[in-house]
Chain A
Amino acid sequence: MDCIIEMMNITKTFPGIIANDNITLQLRKGEIHALLGENGAGKSTLMSVLFGLYQPDHGKILISGKEVKIRNPNDANRYGIGMVHQHFKLIHNFTVLENIVLGVESTRRGFLEMKDARDKVMELSGRYHLKIDPDALISDITVGMQQRVEILKMLYRQNEILIFDEPTAVLTPQEIHELMKIMRELVEEGKSILFITHKLNEIKEVANRCTILRKGKKVATVSVQDTSKEEMSRLMVGRTVNFNIEKPEMTLGQEVLRVENLVVKSIHPGKNDVDDVTFSVREGEIVCIAGIDGNGQSPLIYALTGLLPVDSGRIVIMEQEATKMPTKKRYQLGMAHIPEDRHKHGLVLDYRLDENLILQNYDHEPFSAKGFLQFESIHQYADKLIHQYDIRSALGGETPARSMSGGNQQKAILAREIDRNPELLIAVQPTRGLDVGAIEYIHQQLVAQRNEGKAVLLVSLELDEVMDISDRIIVIYEGRLVANLNPAELSIEELGLYMSGSKVGVGYEKK
């Protein structure tokens, strides 16, 4: 069969890692080819090589049988390669149409000529059932529509080879379903698709063949039809992964966190980022705040942790009024916080690992005495955590945090927060960007906290995570809670309906 792209024996190294080790990937014309692998397996590097962002150390790229050099994304574009990045590359205060034509605008005497462009975009939109509003601002449309804009960008540039980089991470189940349909239509029209993901269900649903990478090496290229999910999972991780988490029945203890009618106003006047939110978390349960990204999760957590002032309502932690309590006091009450953005909040990247491990405790015994840091105890403590939580780094406690891998940075934060023995653990997307092994580990740790009778408040965008480890799910939509659900009596599709605001739980109707 004809191959439209052949990446032959690609090798690419970075300091300390061989990101791609002699990888061969062949994309046939008119197929959906999945690229499966854990984080750090080399998927992104391989795609960056194809897209001209990196030059391979060895190996060559053939397009329709001819060897080519792709030096930059413009070259890639010229060869008909387009990519939908995981984080969309759209300009938020431009309209949909402006974003689509950006960089390939037609002009007449230096003035933009939008009429032809508009017709062409609308024609493409109709042909592929990609519903868009060409005049809406990107900032006003849903994530699903933003993704359709990205797809139209590729089609407008007449790209024949479409790369989707983890396109479903930000979508609801309904939107995912629609995307799958679009992908099939694109292939029927003769396009070829490379589909990067680590979700096996999606591969099973749309892909023809699947290439599996592990630790920078190609493990296999398999036909999706003839290969079971278990088999693919085993190939990806290199061992059988145990996704079932032991969760003994717990009797709920005291209320550890209570939130009453909490309101955080938005910077946009007249809107509330957090709107009249009431819930509580008790000892021995994992409560998960589910929702699509950007529906008020971050402001809610900032308010709970003292990083953002509350406009009205109450926060009670361990039976103590905490609405206006400074962050430090909340930590002293037993709160711990695994933040959403480990680089922004979780770590001081210019500090060493050991200095980061005492970020909240630097002024307590034994790390401090009479105002001086006690480096001896700091080193010992760091060594203990590094050993206990298996944090890997080049120089142990002396490693600059910046130079550590994402997974190990996250482990360091997890270690720091859990080791403070908190009563209330707030974990915001604790597994984002981590590989299956690390996710498994972090889930085990969270459940272990619950089993010890601690309260865990989890914020997650990953539906599987939400369903698997939580004892109770509260759904947030546009800053409001819309449901309080028991995962045992819930299907993923139904959860999706709540998350997209199509359904509202009993007692949560808007007044």
Chain B
Amino acid sequence: MKKNRFAQAVVAFLPSFFAILAGFLLGFVILLAVNPNQAIQGIGIILKGGLNKGMSGMGQVLYFATPIIMTGLAVGFAFKTGLFNIGASGQFTMGAFAAIYVGVVMKSLPPAIHWLVAILASMIAGAIWGFLPGLLKATRNVNEVITSIMMNYIGMSAVNMMVRATIYNKLKNESLPVASAANIPKWGLQEIFPYPSMNGGILIAVLCVMIVYIVLEKTTFGYELKACGYNRDAGLYAGIQAKRNMIYSMMISGALAGIGGGLLYLSGSGKYMKVIDVIATEGFDGISVALLGLSHPIGVLFAGVFIAYIKVGGFNLQLLNYDQEVINIITAAIIYFSAFALLFKTKIQSIITRNAIQKNEASDQKLEEATMESEERPMKEGDSQ
């Protein structure tokens, strides 16, 4: 039984693995095309990723991973419940703003809970930004993809406006620094990972992963959400309030993305909110993280770390004679290919079934006996009635 579970886990992981492999191959081709002399060295640097600089590098990976694990979790959670939340960027941005606002303005809060209140604020802001598309979908059947994309733009512009109106640093065209108590505690992590921006955010992200996993797999609420996600008609048939659940689902998804925003801007890394017209890329990274992790919370955790690892590798590629743009293209290509995980999944399944057929042919005889047996059983039942 245990062996079986392990085999299942391996089979579940295989598609992502092949997707990653294909991505690296493409990345290598690009490196070859741009600068053949350093291509092998270059792909080596990418492969080594965060390990180039030892534990400090891994710290950097975890720092990069934290927000995209959260947005990945947001997208994956919504997907498991049958919704495409493309609005993680907007929810992320709203969450970030709420967290910074609390961090800058509410300095009278006791230092011990200042950061916690700020994170809660980011959660609520994200939830609100998820609630609106959810409400429209549930009551008016408006496609959540379109509304959540539009909410990305609204969120971006609204946050720019609000930053300028409330917590604006005119000189630098960005948000004011938050109180130091609003930064997430480091919980000694910087001792293990000596990276300057290392903080406890990754632990909060892991906690969220665990909570999402438990909600989806162990609770009746998760059972309802997934039932509607897999088969909405069956959900309705079962008497589940699919519409209400849709709204909840989008709110939870938004809350997760919002926390991601809070975790990034309260990391104490000197990161401020710039007033620029660019949609937060973390939201879109979240989509690829969710795809690569096949929407499973644990899968999302590893996918987030992996993508951060590649990004750090790309960062280090600057040592060689590659332009920043090329680096971006390569990391994007690898991440892009990760979306093929689903394609590989179906391929692998078809190979497995084909093997099963061959096995079956070998055990024709057994099967026949089994069918003979099954032929006789209902007969007894009929007689006894």
Contact = CB atoms under 8 A, between A and B. Distances in A.
Interface of A: 13-18, 215, 238-239, 242, 246, 305-307, 326-331, 337, 339, 344-351, 355, 359-360, 362-363, 368, 371-373, 390, 392, 437, 440-441, 444
B375 to A, nearest CB: 6
A339 to B, nearest CB: 6
Contacts of B353: 15
B218 A441 contact: no
A247 to B, nearest CB: 13
A486 B282 CA distance: 68
Given A18-B367, A351-B230, A373 B382 contact: no
- Residue with the highest number of chain A CB atoms closer than 10 Å, among B230, B233, B241, B381: B233
20 contacts: A15-B356, A16-B356, A16-B360, A16-B367, A305-B237, A307-B236, A328-B241, A337-B237, A339-B237, A345-B234, A345-B236, A346-B237, A351-B226, A351-B227, A362-B238, A372-B218, A372-B220, A373-B218, A437-B378, A441-B378
A409 to B, nearest CB: 12
B239 A327 contact: yes
A373 B219 contact: yes
B172 interface: no
A15 B357 contact: yes
Contact of A359 (B234, B364, B374, B379): B234
B223 interface: yes
B174 interface: no
B315 to A, nearest CB: 39
A390 B360 contact: no
Task: Sort chain B's interface into a size bin.
Answer: 35 or more
- Residue with the highest number of chain A CB atoms closer than 10 Å, among B238, B364, B385: B238
Interface string B353-378: 10011001100100110010011011
B187 interface: no
Closest 10 CB pairs of A and B: A328-B239, A327-B239, A345-B237, A350-B230, A359-B238, A368-B220, A363-B220, A15-B356, A348-B231, A348-B234
Nearest to A241: B382
Contacts of A13: 357, 360-361
A360 B378 contact: no
Contacts of A337: 237
A330 B238 CA distance: 11
Given A15-B360, A360-B238, A390 B377 contact: yes
A355 B223 contact: yes
A307 B242 CA distance: 12
Interface of B: 218-221, 223-224, 226-227, 230-231, 233-241, 353, 356-357, 360-361, 364, 367-368, 371, 374-375, 377-379, 381-382, 385
A331 B239 contact: yes
Contacts, number: 98
Contacts of B234: 344-348, 359
Contacts of A360: 238-239
A87 B383 CA distance: 36
Contact of B371 (A215, A330, A368): A215
B230 A373 contact: no
A336 to B, nearest CB: 11
Contact of B227 (A239, A327, A328, A348): A348
B230 A348 contact: yes
Contacts of B356: 15-16
A215 B231 contact: no
Contacts of B219: 371-373
Contacts of B239: 306, 326-331, 360
Nearest to A308: B236
A356 to B, nearest CB: 9
A9 to B, nearest CB: 15
A207 B207 CA distance: 70
Nearest to B354: A15
B372 to A, nearest CB: 8
A207 to B, nearest CB: 26
Contacts of B235: 348
B131 to A, nearest CB: 22
Contact of A371 (B221, B241, B364): B221
A345 B227 CA distance: 11
Given A16-B367, A246-B385, A347-B234, 15 more contacts: A15-B356, A18-B367, A328-B238, A328-B240, A337-B237, A344-B234, A346-B234, A359-B238, A362-B220, A372-B219, A390-B378, A390-B381, A440-B382, A441-B378, A441-B381
Contacts of A18: 364, 367-368
B237 A327 contact: yes
A238 B227 CA distance: 40
A324 B11 CA distance: 47
B223 A327 contact: no
Contacts of B361: 13
B218 to A, nearest CB: 6
B247 to A, nearest CB: 16
Contacts of B381: 390, 441
A344 B230 CA distance: 11
Contacts of B371: 215
A215 B4 CA distance: 31
A373 B223 contact: yes
B233 A345 contact: yes
A440 B367 CA distance: 25
Contact of B241 (A14, A326, A344): A326
Contact of B385 (A347, A392, A444): A444
A363 to B, nearest CB: 5
A245 B240 CA distance: 37
B339 to A, nearest CB: 21
B233 A344 contact: yes
Contact of B357 (A14, A306, A331): A14
B231 A373 contact: no
A485 B227 CA distance: 40
Contacts of B231: 344, 347-350
Nearest to B240: A328
A200 to B, nearest CB: 19
- Residue with the highest number of chain B CB atoms closer than 10 Å, among A16, A17, A330, A339: A16
A363 B385 CA distance: 35
B380 to A, nearest CB: 10
Contacts of A346: 234, 237
Contacts of A307: 236-237
A112 to B, nearest CB: 37
A414 B298 CA distance: 36
B224 A362 contact: yes
A88 B223 CA distance: 38
A195 to B, nearest CB: 26
A239 B378 CA distance: 11
A15 B360 CA distance: 7
